[in-house]
Amino acid sequence: MRIKAKAKDGVVTVKAMMKHPMLSYDIAKKKGKEANFIVHISGKVDGKDVYDASTSQFLSKNPYIKFQFKGEAGKELELSWVDLKGNTKSKKAKIK
């Protein structure tokens, strides 16, 4: 997972890319694999929600997201995802 978080005038802009094949039911069937994709992405600062997305098989492979929230530089953003099979990944990034 790659995260860039930048603060300007009290607004934090985050660009993140997650590594995941996002196999939809259609593609999985063709490849003879089981469908699996990220179903929930959450972003937190100091344990408080700053981003919350429930997602489907129709996000692109290695999903890229951009979002904004009110916040300041110096704090730490924690971004996590969970997929259909229950795998999770979490990463922290300092807001610059």
Partner 1 sequence: MERRKFLGLGLGAAAISLAPVSALAKNYRKELPKVWSIKNKDKADDLSGVNEAIKAVFGSDKTEDGKIKLKAPDIAENGAVVPVSFSLEKATKVALFQSADPEALVAIWDIPEVGIPNYSVRIKLKKTGTVVVVAEVDGKLYRAQKDVKVTAGGCGG
Residue 96 found at the interface with partner 1 (CB under 8 A) = no
* Shortest distance in whole angstroms from residue 40 CB to partner 1: 4
With CB under 8 A as the contact rule, which of the stretches 1-9, 19-27, 86-94 interacts with partner 1?
19-27
Spatial separation of the C-alpha atoms in residues 66 and 55, rounded to whole Å: 14
Q: Which of 47, 60, 74, 86 binds partner 1 (CB under 8 A)?
A: 60
Q: What is the enclosing helix (H) or strand (E) of 45? A: strand 38-45
Cβ distance 37 to 92 under 8 Å?
Answer: no
What the block records as the tokens of 79 is 């971004």
Q: Which of 67, 78, 91, 93 binds partner 1 (CB under 8 A)?
A: 67
Spatial separation of the C-alpha atoms in residues 62 and 17, rounded to whole Å: 6
What the block records as the tokens of 3 is 């995260």
Residue 8 found at the interface with partner 1 (CB under 8 A) = no
Q: By CB under 8 A, name the binding residues for partner 1.
A: 11, 22, 24-27, 30-31, 39-40, 42, 48-61, 63-71, 82, 84
